[in-house]
Structure 1
Amino acid sequence: MTARILVVDDIRTNIKVLEAKLTSEYYEVITAGSGPEALDAAHGQKPDLILLDVMMPGMDGFEVCRRLKADPDTAYIPVIMVTALGDPEDRVQGLSAGADDFLTKPVDDIAMFARVRSLLRVKLMLDELRMRERTSASLGVISPPVPGLDEDYSDASILLVEDNPRDQLRLQRMIEGQFRIEIIADGAEALGRARQKEYDSVVVSLGLQTPDGLRLCSQFRTTEETRNVPILLLVGPDDQKQLVKGLEIGVTDYVVRPIDRNEFIARLRAQVRRKRYQDRLRDHYQQSMEMAVTDPLTSLYNRRYMASHLSTLLSQSASQHGTAVLIMDLDHFKRINDTHGHPVGDEVLREIGNRIVRNIRGIDMACRYGGEEFVVLMPDTDIDSAEVVASRLLHAIGDKPVTVKAAVGELLVTCSIGCTSSSDKDTADTLLRRADKALYEAKSDGRNRIVYRRSDESGA
């Protein structure tokens, strides 16, 4: 994914080195040579991530980070502190100021890009939730407050997955009194427990045997009930390659052994703070908007909200991929209502809505467009990627009959799909019209198929 990154350092040579490395990976780079310049750039240019040097004259990186995190306009920008300091106390100070991660000079390229990609994935998800909050605000709903750095986390529930008895005891003593902790030695048992109970964070030992630590992290990320829980990985000083892989598969933070107690607690607090903020965003959004913006039959978003959200996506997106739109229409749905009655038709619509939600990403949005039509909005998605989702949805709907409660039993339902992706000139209306034309072609060509229409095709 592309992103705008602010590099802050008082030494011009250091800026040039980082700028060259980031530009080679197609990131847009902006720079600042002091703390005040960094604050101005963060407000004026809204970077997606900040690489912040610690040792700067006047205003050091710790103070810059504290000011960024205290300001509602910049509090959500991930900050990676770049420092020559290796003392755990310095990392604790940075984490207490709100830093999301650290890089030690000289900066290792592989480690840097792994951390950058990991934090950008998290920010993309939070940006989508906040964008939905802004859409909600336009409909008269007030957004929740900015999370504070001084909240009480003593009731936070931490799951520790560690099979070494000595390390279990050592880590338990570190955490006791700060959080509520449960310890499990077997990874499969831990995953099963986490599917039944919500935790504020999961701590996984890389040296776990059953299964190995990285595989367990991957399973947490691919399991619906646990995919959003923060994962803190315990690694050794020589585990750099495994750590990079862990960040790529969704680990949100890490601690290097031997573990410093204060740093461990500070990192856990940061993860719990982010998790609770995400939860508040989701809960507030769902509760306040349920009646106003959802379809009462399918519980998907309704047409009014979808149109407003699509306009927001198009006006604020900086993605080079644009926003993809799918319009889906159930084939011959009128026959179901005419033959079996509207209650059966309603059961079918509810099940189709569920299948759509289960087969799209968390940042995508599904809505009931009207009648038997559905729309899926996919931010940061080009038409080639949208084709994969469209094909998956076509098969998810048409390959398995819908079971209804009535005596009818099972009904085979198929759909036709029109797919397109936005260009710089698109509005919500032009994008929806193009997708609708593609849907009309799919229905005219025999139904149960997908038609793709690019923005540069004639008639678009």
Structure 2
Amino acid sequence: MTARVLVVDDVDANVKLLEARLAAEYFEVRTASNGPEALQICAGEGTDVILLDVMMPGMDGFEVCRRLKSDLQTQHIPIIMVTALDQPADRVKGLEAGADDFLTKPVDDLALITRVKNLARLKLLTDEMLMRASTEEQMGFAAAMNEKLEEAGRDGRVLLVEDRDHAAERIIAALETEQRVGLQTDPVSALLEVPDGDYDLLIVSLNLENADGLRLCSQVRSLDRTRHLPIMIIIEPGEEARLLRGLDMGVNDYIVRPVDPNELLARVRTQIKRKRFTDHLRMRLEETVEMAILDPLTSLHNRRYMGSHLNTLFEEAAQRGRPLALLELDIDHFKAINDSFGHDAGDAVLREFGKRLKRNIRGIDLACRLGGEEFVVVMPDTDREQACLVGERLRQCIAKTPFFGGDATGNIDVTASVGVAALEFPDDTPEIILKRADQALYCAKRDGRNRVVADAA
């Protein structure tokens, strides 16, 4: 992937070294030699990740970080603090200033690229979330979205796989300040637990005494239900070969022993944010797709979906010589229901009508709302006579039990007229069959309503 990375350091040699490493991975790199210049760049142009040196004259990295995180325009840009001071106090200070991750000089190439890629992906997801929040601002969602973004990396469900008691205790103690942590000592048990555990992150030690942690990572990645679960591995110094294998198979991040609690918290927070943002956007995408093909009132498929799906079913039936039938239903005197009981009662009738349709047809049948009080049921592998029986069953289930129109209205007697048509002639098309069903429905209405009429083919 590519991203816009800002490197901030007052030492020109450090800047050129980081710039060369990042450019080799096709990142777009900007540089700044001091804090004020970095703030100006971030305010004026898009930046995805900031590599920020701590020790700079005038305004140090901590102050730059605080200012960026306090500005609404720049607070969501991920910041990696780069320092030669490998002291816990500096990492605590960095976290308090709002840093998202840490790198210690001399910067390891693999650590640099892994951290930048992780945070660039997080920034991409954050931008998408903020864009959606801004389009919903008039509905009052933007403030709530900003609050969710700030807290999204905390209170996650984390499963730790570690079979050494002392190591597990230290990691759990660090994580429990922000997360909910479960422990498994056996990878087989962990693999069984992860799919149903609703976890936000899996942390696997690669130094298990009686098992291969990388095999567990591979198995988790291969399962459909856990394919998108973030995985972090814990390694010993000098295990670069195993680390590279893990990253190749889809491990998201790693941490080297001895584990620094503040570094662990920062990286866990990043992975949980990514997981939650991804889940949210995936859910919104599914909702958008549903909105495009479903009628919002009845939850049946809409006319637009019916048109394309009917064409597909028709082509399959015509090619294989299989029957295909169609019912068109119309609620009798629906305008009178609206006029007498109000539109709320009319909507209640439409919703219940949709439910009764779905309960009385097969799973392979397609029930759609054409619009208003008109509905269509498309039935594969069904001839005209069978369709008439289904139509009669639907007519009876609608007329037999009154519809509840609401507390103020009570029960309402409802009937429906049904027109039936089927694929019967070589020159039939979906449009012709639908027109014949519509003509049959007109006949049912003309002849007294509350009846099933087949087309006169």
Please confirm whether the aligned pair reaches a TM-score higher than 0.5, indicating the same fold.
yes
Deviation of the 1:7 alpha carbon: 1.0
Distance 2:90 2:39 in 1: 21
Structure 1 residues 111 and 156: CA distance shift in structure 2, 3 A: closer
1:341 pairs with 2:322: no
Distance 1:183 1:222 in 2: 22
Distance 2:227 2:213 in 1: 16
Q: Which residue of 2 aligns with 1:296?
A: 294
Distance 1:117 1:263 in 2: 17
The structure with the largest alpha-carbon Rg is 2
Q: Which amino acid aligns with 1:295?
A: I
Deviation of the 1:19 alpha carbon: 2.1
Distance 2:152 2:312 in 1: 56
Distance 1:33 1:302 in 2: 58
Distance 2:37 2:64 in 1: 10
Structure 1 residues 252 and 142: CA distance shift in structure 2, 3 A: same
Q: Which residue of 1 aligns with 2:5?
A: 5
Deviation of the 1:348 alpha carbon: 8.3
For 1:204, what is the secondary structure of its paired residue? strand
Structure 1 residues 170 and 34: CA distance shift in structure 2, 3 A: closer
Structure 1 residues 174 and 25: CA distance shift in structure 2, 3 A: closer
Query: Where does the alignment leave 5 or more consecutive residues of structure 1 unmatched?
Result: 305-327, 351-403, 409-460
8 Å contact 2:101–2:263 — kept in the other structure?
A: no
For 1:16, what is the secondary structure of its paired residue? helix
8 Å contact 2:153–2:271 — kept in the other structure?
A: no
Distance 2:80 2:95 in 1: 10
Distance 1:86 1:406 in 2: 69
For 2:85, what is the secondary structure of its paired residue? coil
Cα deviation per residue 1:59-82 (whole Å; 9 max; x = unaligned)?
A: 222232233334343333332222
Structure 1 residues 330 and 52: CA distance shift in structure 2, 3 A: farther
Distance 1:216 1:282 in 2: 26
Distance 2:41 2:29 in 1: 11
Cα deviation per residue 1:250-295 (whole Å; 9 max; x = unaligned)?
A: 4444332222344434544454455445555666x4698577x432
8 Å contact 2:4–2:49 — kept in the other structure?
A: yes
Q: Which amino acid aligns with 2:199?
A: Y
For 1:237, what is the secondary structure of its paired residue? coil
Deviation of the 1:210 alpha carbon: 6.8
Q: Which amino acid aligns with 1:46?
A: G
Q: Which residue of 1 aligns with 2:233?
A: 233
Distance 1:75 1:234 in 2: 30
Cα deviation per residue 1:68-98 (whole Å; 9 max; x = unaligned)?
A: 3343433333322221111133233323433
Q: Which residue of 2 aligns with 1:193?
A: 193
Deviation of the 1:153 alpha carbon: 8.2
8 Å contact 2:101–2:266 — kept in the other structure?
A: no
8 Å contact 2:365–2:380 — kept in the other structure?
A: no
Q: Which residue of 2 aligns with 1:432?
A: none
Aligned residue runs from structure 1 range 32-431, under 5 A: 32-131=32-131, 137=136, 142-143=141-142, 144-147=144-147, 151=151, 155-176=155-176, 178-208=178-208, 212-276=212-276, 278-279=278-279, 285=284, 293-296=291-294, 333-336=313-316, 339-341=323-325, 347=364
8 Å contact 1:98–1:149 — kept in the other structure?
A: no
Deviation of the 1:181 alpha carbon: 2.3
Distance 2:178 2:140 in 1: 35
Q: CA RMSD in A?
A: 4.4
Cα deviation per residue 1:288-335 (whole Å; 9 max; x = unaligned)?
A: 8577x4321899x9999xxxxxxxxxxxxxxxxxxxxxxx99985433
Structure 1 residues 191 and 123: CA distance shift in structure 2, 3 A: farther
Deviation of the 1:193 alpha carbon: 1.3
For 1:7, what is the secondary structure of its paired residue? strand
8 Å contact 2:9–2:33 — kept in the other structure?
A: yes
Structure 1 residues 340 and 35: CA distance shift in structure 2, 3 A: same
Deviation of the 1:183 alpha carbon: 1.0
Q: Which amino acid aligns with 2:314?
A: K
Q: Which amino acid aligns with 1:113?
A: I
Structure 1 residues 197 and 18: CA distance shift in structure 2, 3 A: same
Q: Which amino acid aligns with 1:335?
A: E
Deviation of the 1:10 alpha carbon: 1.5
Identity of aligned residues (%): 46
8 Å contact 1:118–1:247 — kept in the other structure?
A: no
Distance 1:36 1:93 in 2: 20
For 1:99, what is the secondary structure of its paired residue? coil
Distance 2:75 2:63 in 1: 14
8 Å contact 1:92–1:266 — kept in the other structure?
A: no
What is the aligned residue count?
Answer: 329
Distance 2:210 2:56 in 1: 46
Query: Where does the alignment leave 5 or more consecutive residues of structure 2 unmatched?
Result: 328-360, 368-377, 383-457
